[in-house]
Structure 1
């Protein structure tokens, strides 16, 4: 008699229970089985039994459980990646079914990096609302890495953010390009001074973004600060542009901001640009979406409308130099 293949795709698809996958996602995001049981409002033996049942059906150990140790195995990490996607699709089913009407009235959830200033995006939102007034939009401001994670998990319709390294499971389209300069606030000794040179910045304290590192998405900004020979100590840091701006204005140090975003504060006397003034680092902001996500009509219309605008508007017109 032929031995059944424990990894037969048809058998796994036939026998795998969605509730087991849902339980596993909570287990993977918890610190222990006891913690997962509390979050699921189930007894600990029930959660342990569910995990064992899932491991038996898949023929793989998913969580390494030992005294003082609770960590996903390689198989567990792989399953979590797929289970999160499945969970996102399942959670969207009721929304899609509810929106089966002639009028577009769905909801669009955009994951947005902080302080995205882009007239093209504003125009796309305005035209979408004018055409579909019963549809709704929410904008969730997050660090770029978290915004992309929301798209991967199919919890966000699409993201507008910086991209460190493209994920092959997602689609990307460059929305606009911005240039970063260095700025200081009114309490800073360099504020308002003309004819500054890079030598004036040597040893000055700085404020910056959490992604301002050589191995991260704002690497060009890191290089610019290094060329200015500023002090290595960063006295203020945030993933949120508004908070970086707040610390610069308050005088905590010199910090990087997109030149076109800072222009109004410069005009209002809240910020002063310091060297360098030429060859400023360029940073691209992208639209990111999941090609395998099942989108409602509102999501699809807004995303496709934005992508059409990107195609129609030359890159030079989407390049903001300040």
Structure 2
């Protein structure tokens, strides 16, 4: 029984050595067996034998050659065109597989202090997540001390926080400097007063951050609090900016907040800035990493992107608000 065309096709797919097509392409393009052998770094008999095997598999004469002539037959021309297409498809497939293997995926654990407002961080999260759709994130707010502890204990990929004392086993990259001011809420007697001096704040009831002490990360704010005689007037504390702000807006007391983080609340009439208007306490915010951590590619990539976006800013653009005297509005 003779084989059908369908059976012939199936046999060819099963038995054809794809390297024979690669060899055939070289023979056609080089115009001879010897030149093709030189290109493929093979011996001439190996190339000649490959051509014979291919012709036997297809049952067609592909090349007519002799001492003085070389001609690709019609069947050879047709096969050459198809072989080029197959070769191109294999090349594209290799690239696609490589890209799949190179696709960044992984989980990134971020610990951040509650009052971090830094546009390059938001841009990094946006751009990195858009570029790497398979990366997942976990963000948790903690005190600056807990942020550093999480990075040190390898419970977090990176941390962003205030730093009072640097741990020798951690790496600190400066991100930006923010300035704090004291504020009051709409029901407070000092709200919208423009003629205030430091003496007007003397002994006022106040609220504070947990880290607002001479021995912690908000030491510059604590020094100002001492100047204002507010050390013994603290009515409430919290480790989170939103809760400190809530207490201030509610009228529990005056309190410190990073100026650039509450700009919208000032514009909306929820907060009123109090003295001192010049030389507000500066606080530096750092990216904290652990060189001993075995980071995945997602963690490494996010950290590098944040560093690059930060480094692209001129130093003055990493100071909030910009240098200059400040006034309540």
Query: Same fold, TM exceeding 0.5?
Result: yes
| Distance in 2 of aligned mates of 1:125 and 1:169 | 26
After superposition, the C-alpha distances for 1:78-111 in whole angstroms (9 at most, x for unaligned) are: xxxxxxxxxxxxxxxxxxxxxx943212110100
| Distance in 1 of aligned mates of 2:190 and 2:292 | 51
| Distance in 2 of aligned mates of 1:137 and 1:272 | 36
| Distance in 2 of aligned mates of 1:251 and 1:312 | 41
On the 8 A contact 2:210/2:238 being kept in 1, the answer is yes
| Structure 1: 4+ residue segments shifted above 3 A | none
1:101-250 alignment runs, 5 A limit: 101-230=101-230, 232-250=232-250
On the 8 A contact 1:171/1:288 being kept in 2, the answer is yes
| Distance in 2 of aligned mates of 1:172 and 1:315 | 17
On the 8 A contact 2:115/2:258 being kept in 1, the answer is no
Unpaired runs of 5+ residues, structure 2, are: 1-99, 323-329
| Distance in 1 of aligned mates of 2:279 and 2:251 | 25
Unpaired runs of 5+ residues, structure 1, are: 1-99
Query: Helix, strand or coil for the counterpart of 1:308?
Result: helix
On the 8 A contact 1:202/1:231 being kept in 2, the answer is no
TM-score normalized by the length of structure 2: 0.66
1:216 CA drift (Å): 1.1
1:282 maps to which residue? 282
On the 8 A contact 2:164/2:216 being kept in 1, the answer is yes
Query: Helix, strand or coil for the counterpart of 2:215?
Result: coil
On the 8 A contact 1:204/1:231 being kept in 2, the answer is no
1:255 maps to which residue? 255
Query: Helix, strand or coil for the counterpart of 2:102?
Result: coil
1:19 maps to which residue? none
Aligned residues: 223
On the 8 A contact 2:203/2:233 being kept in 1, the answer is no
Query: Helix, strand or coil for the counterpart of 2:176?
Result: strand
Query: Helix, strand or coil for the counterpart of 2:192?
Result: coil
On the 8 A contact 1:205/1:231 being kept in 2, the answer is no
Structure 1 or 2, whichever has the larger Rg, is 2
Query: Helix, strand or coil for the counterpart of 2:115?
Result: coil
1:301 maps to which residue? 301
